Every structure is written in structure tokens, then in C-alpha cells.
């Protein structure tokens, strides 16, 4: 077991997760928190009879949370981010990939003279959504153990890493002013 003590400043979700992960690997950990309670921005408080979120209101897996919870031996529900999107008096809920079709419909109803432009915008959003699926749609390989999950590394990981690199390159190519992007 390592002799050194590791000091973590701040008992927010990051500090607590790091401390637990290190402790599980046999390290001695000291967590210092300046507030009376732990959790940092992951908290809620009551004022005038109303319950407020201190920070987070949704937890998405993003390829990280589920494998991290599994590693910590925790079974907690995730709360997906439900976003409502409104223009004038029309409001849609964006909570799945299908919501893109609702968004296209909404924009076309509002701006019938710009149907072609709306289709262009929707196509670009669809492309970004595909990139996001590659980056965050599957569990991060950093949580896999090469010894225990060899089959995963020889099959799923090899396919994913090529898609990941291609997506990274595509994102890098998008680094340009918005005006230039829309003209290209």
C-alpha cells in the first residue's frame, strides 16, 4: 500500500469521486472542504418554502457517468436533460434525436420563406449530433481494464478509435468564424 497521503482540496463531486477512486486503490486520502457540507454545486436548498437546485438539474451519461458509477459500485438513476426550445409562442421539447425533425418543422412553420436555409441548418446540426454520438455516445474506454476487457479492445475499441480520430479531425476543421463556415 502506498505510504504517501494525498490531499484533495474541495469536496465537490470531482474531489469526492477522485478521493473514492484513490481510496479504492489503497491510497491514503484527506479531503478538505471549506463549507459545512460536501457536494459543492451538487446540492439543493430551501428558501421561502421553495426547493432550489444549487447547480445541476440533469445528469447525462456522456460516456463517463455510468462506467464511473459502476467502478465505484454505485447504482444511481440518471436524470436526462430535457430542454424546451421556444420561438415566439411555439415551444418544442428537445429530448431525443427525433426532436431534430420537430425543430425543423418549427423553423419551417415560422420562416416558410427560408425553407432551404432551414434544411441546411438542420443538416449541420444532424452532423454535429453524429459527432457527439461518437465522442460521448458510448462508454469511455478509459474506464475499461485491458486485462479484463481484452475482447472489447480487440473489437469495439478498434472501430471506435478510428471513428474518434476522424471525428476529432472533422471538428478541428470547423475552427473558423461562423460567417466563413456558412459560406463554405
**52 or 182, CB closer to ligand FAD?**
52
Q: Tell me, by CB under 6 A, how many residues bind ligand FAD.
A: 19
Stretch that binds ligand FAD, among 55-63, 102-110, 114-122, 167-175 (CB under 6 A): 55-63
Calpha distance 51→68 (Å, rounded): 28
Q: Does 57 bind ligand FAD (CB under 6 A)?
A: yes
* Least Å from the CB of residue 135 to ligand FAD: 16
Site for ligand FAD, residues 59 to 88, rule: CB under 6 A: 59
44, 53 Cβ separation under 8 angstroms: yes
**80 or 126, CB closer to ligand FAD?**
80
* Least Å from the CB of residue 45 to ligand FAD: 13
Indicate which single residue of 56, 64, 72, 122 sits in contact with ligand FAD (rule: CB under 6 A).
56
Q: Is the dihedral of CA 144, 147, 148, 153 positive or negative?
A: positive
Helical packing angle, 13-24 and 65-72, nearest 10°: 50
87, 106 Cβ separation under 8 angstroms: yes
Contacts of residue 70, Cβ cutoff 8 Å, sequence gap at least 6? 143
Site for ligand FAD, residues 4 to 43, rule: CB under 6 A: 9-15, 32-35, 40-42
Question: 139: exposed, middle or buried (C-beta count within 10 Å: 0-12, 13-18, 19+)?
Answer: buried
Q: For residue 157, what is the DSSP state?
A: I
* Least Å from the CB of residue 8 to ligand FAD: 9
* Least Å from the CB of residue 56 to ligand FAD: 4
Calpha distance 11→167 (Å, rounded): 35
* Least Å from the CB of residue 3 to ligand FAD: 24
Residue numbers of the site for ligand FAD (CB under 6 A)?
9-15, 32-35, 40-42, 55-59
Amino acid at each position: 500500500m502506498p505510504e504517501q497521503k494525498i490531499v484533495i482540496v474541495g469536496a465537490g463531486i470531482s474531489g469526492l469521486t477522485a478521493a473514492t477512486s484513490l481510496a479504492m486503490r489503497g491510497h491514503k486520502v484527506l479531503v478538505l472542504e471549506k463549507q459545512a457540507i460536501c457536494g459543492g454545486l451538487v446540492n439543493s436548498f430551501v428558501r421561502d418554502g421553495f426547493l432550489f437546485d444549487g447547480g445541476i438539474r440533469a445528469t447525462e451519461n456522456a460516456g463517463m457517468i455510468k462506467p464511473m458509477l459502476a467502478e465505484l459500485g454505485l447504482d444511481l438513476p440518471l436524470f436526462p436533460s430535457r430542454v424546451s426550445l421556444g420561438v415566439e409562442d411555439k415551444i418544442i421539447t428537445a429530448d431525443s434525436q427525433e426532436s431534430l425533425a420537430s425543430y425543423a418543422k418549427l423553423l419551417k412553420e415560422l420562416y416558410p420563406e427560408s425553407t432551404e436555409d432551414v434544411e441546411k441548418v438542420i443538416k449541420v446540426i444532424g452532423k454535429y449530433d453524429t459527432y457527439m454520438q461518437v465522442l460521448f455516445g458510448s462508454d469511455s474506454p478509459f474506464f475499461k481494464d485491458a486485462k479484463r476487457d481484452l475482447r472489447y479492445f480487440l473489437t469495439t475499441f478498434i472501430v471506435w478509435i478510428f471513428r474518434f480520430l476522424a471525428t476529432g479531425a472533422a471538428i478541428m476543421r470547423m475552427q473558423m468564424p461562423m460567417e466563413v463556415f456558412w459560406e463554405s
